[in-house]
Amino acid sequence: MALEAQTKSIVAQFDYTDEDVNKGVKEFLRQMGEGLEKDGTSMSQIPTYVTAVPNGTEKGLYMAVDLGGTNFRVCSIQLNGDTTFNLTYTKVAIPKELMVAKTAQQLFAFLAKQIELFLRTHHEEHFEAHVRRRLTVSSPDGYMDENVFRLGFTFSFPVQQSGINKGTLIRWTKGFDIPDAIGKDVCALLQIEIDRLHLPVRVAALVNDTVGTLMARSYTSPGKTGAVLGAIFGTGTNGAYIEKLENLKKPLTGEYDKSTGDMVINTEWGSFDNQLNVLPNTSWDIQLDKSSVNPGIQMYEKRVSGMFLGEILRLALLDLLKDPKVSFFKDENSSSNDWKSTTNIAEDSSIYTEWGIDTAIMSVAAADNTPELSVLRQELESTLHIHSPAHDDAEAFKAIAGAVARRAARLAAVAIAAVVLQTGQLSASNDEPVDIGVDGSLVEHYPYFREMIYEALRIIDGVGEEGAKRIRIGVAKDGSGVGAALIALVAAGME
Ligand code: ADP
């Protein structure tokens, strides 16, 4: 009984009520507005210099590369002009020593080399044709302009963008550390190395993965207006949306096409409400923040994205395990005083290690609707080394994991609703769908994540039942490939 009562009390702490959701949306709108006015605000609202989304009729062969973390992806994308595309890609691990290379040149030379290898493997003919042409054509770099691949460069590190293919690195994250690159234009760094190898490739666009998602969704699922928002719910969370130029009060330094009256804004919403005006803040959120590498920063992301949900769950479970009054994963035969030895969890279990629970297990818990919870219990045994977990214990685990995920989905609805309201699309007097592209393992694989988002959308002032019906949330696959290609296409049109 004690376990049931304690579980209920923990679950209740993750409640994020309808009233909270509505307060959240109001504050989100306020902070979005602030970010459009000036720099240095909680949400950066970074102008991307992309001024239009595709409509599915775009055609051509483009290249895209993605430097995001452990891997470097190189791909070519044939846009067929009928909302479909063909993608060819390779992926290579970044050698650890290059992540901390002495000079940026060493890393970017490696990247250029991978582009060359890709072209030689997958576009040999094309490549050779270029090489032959080099001998006969007297343009400065030896290539006919129409034969030069336009490349979209997805670079998932913080950059100060100053044009569609210009942006200086603010800082490295995710284990990279090459001080020499800070403050430099990453597109130029890549172009220099590409030119050194005489490749027929021009870095046409610097791409944030959320913008790629927005573009990919607009291309593959075109409506009258295209998608209004691209959002990632994976390791981290972020969103990019279409804003009216007149609302963008911050000065823009680079060139862009003013004719559409719009610009795609990268919200960097992971840092929404770092001040904690409206975000929920349990004791486990506080603990997680303290032990993170960036306390006080990315406070919204720390409650919403895959990297953090498993850890919130782990911290809540530890409190339950430590409670002497509660029987939770207990070894009935133990009479030890040390709380760890009274459990039926192996000493080497990752439940005892910071960041030791992968959010993926929360999906397993949510998906297991068997009366015995047999799938989840097996998973607890194999991944967390819990010996013969009892049904009631697995049920408590499932309830707490479900509460953490439900709060995350309702917080995701706050961001989505605020952006939709900001665009004014729902007040348009038609019943056109308002399209949103999403990507990331959490939204793709957590069962009912989208349903929980919709449940929250329905109670949001200004959205309601009718509005929620019009909002269409769909997965945008390969955003960093096809999306980057589409931005390269837009950029090529501006050359
Ligand atoms: P990234 O965002 O780095 O491009 P993903 O979209 O695959 O990559 O997201 C990875 C994150 O998603 C990790 O934090 C991981 O814990 C979480 N994750 C992976 N699989 C699942 C799953 N089945 N259910 C929920 N979360 C998952």
Q: Which residue lies with its CA nearest to atom 21 of ligand 1?
A: 360
Tell which atom from ligand 1 comes closest to the C-alpha of 306: 14
The pLDDT score that the predictor gives to residue 125 is 67
The strand pairing partners of 153, in sequence order, are 65, 206
pLDDT reported for residue 140: 45
pLDDT of residue 157: 82
Is residue 12 located within the same domain as residue 57?
Answer: no
pLDDT at 132: 52
- Domain count for the chain: 2
What global pTM score does this model have?
Answer: 0.91
**Alpha-helical runs (H) found in 424-474:** 441-445, 449-457, 464-470
Q: What angle do CA 333, 335, 337 make, to 5 degrees?
A: 145
**Which of the listed residues 207, 233, 254 is the one where a domain comes to its end?**
207
CATH code of the domain in which 171 resides? 3.30.420.40
**Residues 6+ away with beta carbon under 8 Å from 157:** 67, 169, 170, 171, 172, 173, 174, 176
How far is the centre of ligand 1, averaged over its atoms, from the C-alpha of 482 (Å)?
20
- Residue 226 has a pLDDT of 81
- d(CA 360, ligand 1 centre) in Å: 7
Number of H helices, E strands in the chain: 17, 13
Residues with active-site annotation: 156, 171, 209
What was the pLDDT predicted at 453?
A: 98
Whether residue 314 sits in one domain with residue 181? no
Is residue 492 within 8 A of residue 204, CB to CB? The reply is yes
Domain that holds residue 126: 51-207
Is the domain of 34 the same as that of 55? Answer: no
Q: Chain-centre distance of CA 269, in angstroms? A: 10
Integer angstrom CA distances of residue 445 from 240, 251, 254, 317, 475 = 22, 40, 39, 23, 11
Residues 130-180: tens digit of each pLDDT: 555 554 444 445 666 777 899 999 998 878 888 999 999 988 876 788 999
* Same domain for 384 and 250: yes
Among 11-25, 286-300, 328-342, 380-394, where is mean pLDDT lowest? 328-342
396 CA → ligand 1 middle, Å: 23
Do residues 12 and 135 share a domain?
no
Higher pLDDT: 275 or 143? It is: 275
pLDDT at 82: 94
Q: Which residues pair with 169 in a beta bridge?
A: 159
pLDDT tens-place string over residues 88-143: 999 999 998 999 899 999 999 999 999 999 999 998 866 655 555 554 444 445 66
Same domain, 149 and 28: no
User: CB–CB of 269/256 below 8 Å?
Assistant: no
φ/ψ of 199, rounded to 5, equals: -90, 145
Are 66 and 153 in the same domain? yes
Kindly state the percentage of the chain with pLDDT values over 90. Answer: 75
Cα atoms in the Cβ-side hemisphere of radius 13 Å centred on 17: 5
**What is the model's pLDDT at position 172?**
83
Confidence (pLDDT) at 137: 46
Cα dist from 103 to 27, 73, 107, 156, 180, whole Å: 43, 21, 7, 19, 6
With a Cβ cut-off of 6 Å, ligand 1 is lined by 234-235, 306-307, 358-360, 363, 440-442, 445-446
152 Cβ neighbours under 8 A, 6+ residues apart: 62, 63, 64, 65, 204, 205, 207, 212, 483, 484, 485, 486, 487, 488, 491
Task: Determine, yes or no, domain membership for 327.
Answer: yes
Q: Would residue 222 count as lying in a domain?
A: yes
Mark whether 371 and 329 lie in a shared domain. Answer: yes
Confirm if 14 and 404 have CB atoms less than 8 A apart.
yes
Q: What pLDDT is recorded for position 130? A: 54
Mutation choice for ligand 1 from 209, 235, 404, CB with most ligand atoms inside 8 A: 235
Nearest CA to ligand 1 atom 20: 360
Q: Is 46 helix (H, G, I), strand (E, B) or coil?
A: strand
Q: Which two tokens stand for residue 116?
A: 């060359």
Could you tell me the two tokens for 151?
């490349």
Residue 488: inside a domain: no
Closest residue (by CA) to atom 3 of ligand 1?
Answer: 235
Minimum-distance ligand 1 atom for the alpha carbon of 439? 6
Mean pLDDT in residue range 204-221: 92
Domain annotation covers residue 485? no
Domain termination residue (choose one: 207, 228, 256): 207
Q: Among 359, 362, 445, name the best residue to mutate to test ligand 1's pocket (greatest count of ligand atoms within 8 A of Cβ).
A: 359
Query: Residue type for 48, please?
Result: T
Q: What is the pLDDT of residue 141?
A: 56
pLDDT at residue 55 above 80? yes
Position 126 scores a pLDDT of 64
Structure ipTM: 0.98
Task: Tell me the CA–centroid distance for residue 308 and ligand 1, in Å.
Answer: 10
Q: Are residues 380 and 429 in the same domain?
A: yes
The amino acid at residue 401 is: A
Regarding whether 408 and 351 lie in a shared domain, the answer is yes
Query: What is the 8-class DSSP label of residue 94?
Result: P
Angle between helices 209-220 and 484-494 in degrees, nearest 10: 90
**Mean of the pLDDT values across residues 1-24?**
95
d(CA 147, CA 130): 7
* 67-76, 279-288, 381-390: range with lowest mean pLDDT: 67-76
Q: What is the pLDDT of residues 415-455, one digit of tens each?
A: 999 999 999 999 877 778 999 999 999 999 999 999 999 99
Q: Are 481 and 66 in contact (CB under 8 A)?
A: yes
User: Residue 14 to residues 330, 368, 392, 403: CA-CA distances in angstroms?
Assistant: 25, 21, 20, 6
Burial (CB count within 10 angstroms: exposed 0-12, middle 13-18, buried 19+), residue 251: exposed
Of 182, 207, 232, the position where a domain reaches its end is 207
> Residue 119's pLDDT is what?
93
Amino acid symbol at 420? V
Residue 487 domain-assigned (yes or no): no
Is residue 305 domain-shared with residue 242, that is, in the same domain?
yes
| Amino acid identity at 146 | E
Q: Are 380 and 401 in contact (CB under 8 A)?
A: no
Going from the Cα of 327 to the center of ligand 1, the distance in angstroms, rounded, reads 31
